[in-house]
């Protein structure tokens, strides 16, 4: 955290339908990672800002809850149109603060918009069940009702898409929302707040706070926050889950990942190598669904590594906004140093460094946080470059003798976000999808991110909680069930019933 500098603009909060200054005395610097230059300041809010935002959301809840779901959907329909018109602007904000290429950022904005499209059907999604005559003259209906104020805490790597996994669903269900985006990429959230406002969302239904652990902990323990959705690294996800559930809230906390691609000898190796290059180095490897470990089965290894090496070396690295660039910088100077440290450790631990991105120089981007694509072969499970989530452009290749060995390796890993298998054999793929202990599986699909009408989530240390985000699980997470049993007696009962009612 830094103290205020007059030279840099401050990103405001969004409370009660308008931008507001924070009472913060501490600030985080937002960088343009391609230039390595601080471009604006994020206020690091204190508990009193949390109080203001939560109070606004509490005040807005009763009217929003009682707004017919079709009317809520119509506001989100206008929001969808505004997002579509503003797509490039939003993608530019993402690319500027995160560093990813503009095209990649556009893709992520599109995946966010798809969640809004999913919840346009909210009147249908909220319909309950009805059963007539469950007992003599007794009917039963099940309802799903909103929770109240929900909070979302999001990571730096998807400033539009990940918040949109959460708030469109929460709001469509009739909740109000407080978003705390990553302090490294604060601007896109403000733009989304403006667009929601323009779409006609009542003040207080959607609010944005900025900050670090102080804000997160205040949200996690605030008695009027009913549910928390978190996406970020595993240690913080665990902290959020434990703290939030201890405070009586429902929590879904999505964590980090180490996603494996298992490549069989019968796979089309050119197709597979292209798929793996995009999945490993797209967005500089800073995706929770990035493939960061390849398990080459049988004899697939040598031919695959040769292809990966030449394709990775051909990736053009540069500023995300420049045409023809395939990979931008990583998020910060400390993160680049951390990733480079892993590369050094991999060499020290005896892995074969096939391609070293550390020496890369980008003309004009000397101050940028660039690191070239890096490839290791003959990596063993005990090495740090395999054990840890590196979250950078580093791909490691391990060798396995059999499919069973490859599946055992994937299943022994503490993470379970995504995985993919590359093969031409249906039986092999079917066995893999059945046995692998991972939440999202691709068969010849390297980044199997489910569409908005399915739910997204990993297993094991990649998700704490029961329900995944968006899709049907999202609607379940942001609502609670109620069952109403009704009788309209024609004659009053003649005696009190003291036994367990059986409706017979
Ligand atoms: P992070 O855990 O550092 O931060 C995530 C959020 O938590 C931010 O809003 C941050 O301000 C807040 N935070 C940070 N430290 C905190 C603390 N000690 N207490 C309370 N709050 C804290 O993650 P990041 O670096 O922004 O994002 C990268 C990580 O997110 C990677 O591990 C990646 O795998 C993961 N991720 C996971 C998914 C998924 O779907 N599972 C998706 C995207 C990113």
Give the DSSP letter string of 247-312.
TT-EEEEE----EEEEE-TTS-HHHHHHHHHHHHHGGGG--TT-EEEEEEETTHHHHHHHHHHHHH
Banded model confidence at residue 363, pLDDT cuts 50, 70, 90:
very high
DSSP letters, 384-434, are HHHHS---SSEEEEEEESSHHHHHHHHHHSSEESEEEEE-S-HHHHHHHHH
Q: Which atom of ligand 1 is nearest to the CA of 240?
A: 20
Q: Is the dihedral of CA 171, 147, 235, 31 positive or negative?
A: positive
CB-based contacts of 402: which residues, under 8 Å, 6+ apart?
297, 298
Predicted confidence (pLDDT) per residue in 300-345, tens digit:
999 999 999 999 999 999 999 999 999 999 999 999 999 999 999 9
**How much is the pLDDT for 69?**
98
For the entire predicted model, the pTM comes to 0.96
Task: Tell me the CA–centroid distance for residue 232 and ligand 1, in Å.
Answer: 2
d(CA 267, CA 279): 17
Q: 1 falls in which pLDDT band (50, 70, 90)? A: low
Asked whether the predicted pLDDT for residue 494 surpasses 80, the reply is: no
Q: How far is the CA of 34 from the centre of ligand 1 (A)?
A: 21
Is the Cβ–Cβ distance between 170 and 150 less than 8 Å? yes
Is residue 2 over pLDDT 90?
no
What was the pLDDT predicted at 482? 98
Q: How far apart are the CA of 331 and the centre of ligand 1, in A?
A: 13
Residue 491 CA, chain-centre distance (Å), reads 56
Q: What is the pLDDT of residue 345?
A: 98
Segment 234-248 shows an average pLDDT of 98
Distance from Cα 295 to the centre of ligand 1, integer Å:
27
Report how far ligand 1's centroid is from the alpha carbon of 59 (Å).
29
Choosing from 165, 217, 236 the residue with most ligand 1 atoms within 8 A of its CB, the one to mutate for a pocket test is 236
pLDDT for the residue numbered 492: 62
Distance 256 CA to ligand 1 centre (A): 8
pLDDT at residue number 141? 98
| Predicted pLDDT of residue 3 | 63
What pLDDT, on the 0 to 100 scale, is given for residue 502? Answer: 80
pLDDT band of residue 493 (cuts 50, 70, 90) is low
Q: What is the pLDDT of residue 414?
A: 98
> What would the mean pLDDT of 10-36 be, rounded to a whole number?
95
Write the pLDDT tens digit of every residue in 266-299. 999 999 999 999 999 999 999 999 999 999 999 9
| 155-184 pLDDT tens trace | 999 999 999 999 999 999 999 999 999 999
Task: Identify the band that residue 4 occupies on the pLDDT scale cut at 50, 70 and 90.
Answer: low
- Helical spans, DSSP H, in 122-268: 122-125, 161-172, 187-198, 213-221, 234-246
Q: Residue 422 pLDDT more than 70?
A: yes
Closest residue to atom 17 of ligand 1, CA basis: 213
Counting from 1 in the atom list of ligand 1, the atom nearest the Cα of 181 is: 9
Q: Which residues of 401-421 are buried (b: 16+ CB within 10 A; e: fewer)?
A: eebeebbebbeebebbbbbbb
Ligand 1 centroid to Cα of residue 356, in Å, is 27
99 close to 330: Cβ distance less than 8 angstroms: yes
The whole-number average pLDDT for the span 148-158 is: 98
Q: Which atom of ligand 1 is nearest to the CA of 232?
A: 30
Which residue is closest in CA terms to ligand 1's atom 16? Answer: 213
Look at residues 144, 147, 132 and name the one whose alpha carbon lies nearest to residue 483. 144
Query: How many angstroms separate the CA atoms of 260 and 294, rounded?
Result: 5
Average pLDDT of every residue of the chain = 96
Percentage, residues of the chain above pLDDT 70: 98
Nearest atom within ligand 1 for CA of residue 256: 34
Please name which of 322, 362, 394, 289 lies closest in space to residue 96, comparing C-alpha atoms.
Answer: 322
- Eight-class DSSP state of 202: P
Q: Which residue has the tokens 């550390």?
A: 358
Any residues with Cβ below 6 Å from ligand 1, and which?
Answer: 153-158, 162, 180, 182-183, 212-213, 216, 231-233, 236, 239, 254-257, 288, 389, 391, 417, 458, 462
CA–CA distances in Å: residue 314 to residues 132, 151, 294, 304, 317: 66, 42, 19, 16, 9
- Does 139 have pLDDT greater than 90? yes
**Beta carbons of 179 and 258 less than 8 angstroms apart:** no
pLDDT score, position 5: 55
- Strand, coil or helix: what is 123? helix
Can 150 be counted among the known catalytic residues?
Answer: no
Pocket test for ligand 1, best of 30, 214, 232, 338 (most atoms within 8 A of CB): 232
pLDDT at residue 251, as a whole number: 98
Nearest residue to 164 (alpha-carbon basis) of 197, 206, 122:
206
Residue nearest atom 21 of ligand 1, based on CA coordinates: 213
Burial 142-171 (b: 16+ CB within 10 A, else e): eebebbbbbbbbbbbbbbbbbbbbbbbbbb
Annotated catalytic residue, options 45, 150, 173, 288: 288
Question: Which residue, chain included where needed, has tokens 């079917």?
Answer: 430
**pLDDT per residue as tens digits for the range 442-470:** 999 999 999 999 999 999 999 999 999 99
Task: Please tell me what DSSP assigns to residue 60.
Answer: H
Asked whether the beta carbons of 262 and 406 are under 8 A apart, the reply is: yes
| Radius of gyration (C-alpha) of the chain in whole angstroms | 25
Q: Which residue has the least CA distance to atom 22 on ligand 1?
A: 213
- Probe target for ligand 1 pocket from 155, 228, 467, with the most ligand atoms within 8 Å of CB: 155
Q: Which two tokens stand for residue 136?
A: 């003599």
């Amino acid at each position: 955290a830094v103290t205020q500098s007059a030279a840099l603009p401050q990103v405001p909060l969004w409370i009660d339908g308008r931008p507001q200054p924070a009472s913060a005395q501490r600030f985080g610097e937002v960088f343009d990672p391609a230039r390595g230059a601080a471009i604006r300041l994020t206020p690091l809010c204190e508990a009193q800002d949390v109080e203001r935002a939560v109070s606004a959301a509490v005040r807005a809840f009763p009217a929003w809850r009682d707004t017919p779901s079709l009317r809520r959907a119509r506001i989100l329909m206008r929001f969808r149109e505004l997002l579509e018109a503003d797509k490039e602007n939003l993608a530019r904000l993402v690319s500027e603060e995160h560093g990813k290429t503009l095209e990649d950022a556009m893709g992520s904005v599109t995946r966010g918009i798809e969640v809004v499209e999913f919840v346009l059907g909210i009147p249908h999604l909220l319909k309950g069940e009805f059963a007539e005559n469950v007992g003599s003259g007794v009917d039963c209906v099940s309802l799903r009702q909103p929770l109240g104020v929900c909070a979302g805490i999001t990571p730096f790597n998807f400033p539009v898409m990940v918040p949109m996994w959460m708030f469109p669903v929460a709001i469509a269900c009739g909740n109000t929302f407080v978003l705390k985006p990553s302090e490294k990429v604060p601007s896109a959230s403000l733009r989304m707040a403006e667009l929601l406002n323009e779409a006609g969302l009542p003040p207080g239904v959607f609010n944005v706070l900025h900050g670090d652990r102080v804000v997160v902990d205040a949200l996690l323990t605030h008695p009027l926050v009913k549910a928390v959705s978190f996406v970020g690294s595993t240690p913080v996800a665990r902290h959020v889950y434990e703290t939030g559930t201890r405070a009586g809230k429902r929590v879904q906390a999505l964590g980090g990942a180490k996603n494996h691609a298992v490549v069989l000898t019968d796979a089309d190796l050119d197709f597979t190598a292209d798929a793996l290059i995009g999945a490993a180095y797209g967005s500089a490897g800073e995706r929770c669904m990035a493939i960061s470990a390849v398990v080459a089965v049988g004899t697939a290894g040598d031919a695959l590594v040769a292809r990966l090496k030449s394709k990775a070396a051909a990736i053009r690295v540069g500023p995300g906004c420049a045409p023809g660039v395939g990979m931008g910088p990583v998020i910060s100077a400390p993160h680049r140093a951390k990733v480079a440290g892993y590369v050094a450790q991999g060499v020290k631990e005896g892995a074969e460094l096939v391609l070293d991105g550390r020496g890369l120089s980008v003309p004009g981007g000397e101050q940028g946080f660039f690191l070239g694509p890096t490839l290791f072969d003959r990596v063993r499970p005990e090495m740090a470059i395999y054990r840890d989530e590196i979250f950078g452009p580093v791909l490691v290749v391990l060798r396995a003798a059999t499919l069973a060995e490859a599946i055992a390796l994937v299943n022994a890993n503490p993470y379970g976000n995504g995985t993919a298998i590359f093969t031409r054999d249906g039986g092999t793929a079917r066995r893999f999808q059945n046995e692998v202990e991972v939440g999202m599986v691709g068969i010849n699909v390297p980044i199997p991110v489910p569409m908005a009408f399915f739910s997204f989530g990993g297993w094991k240390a990649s998700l704490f909680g029961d329900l995944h985000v968006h899709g049907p699980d999202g609607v379940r997470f942001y609502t609670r069930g109620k069952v109403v049993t009704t009788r309209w007696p024609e004659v009053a009962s003649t005696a009190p019933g003291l036994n367990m009612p059986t409706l017979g």
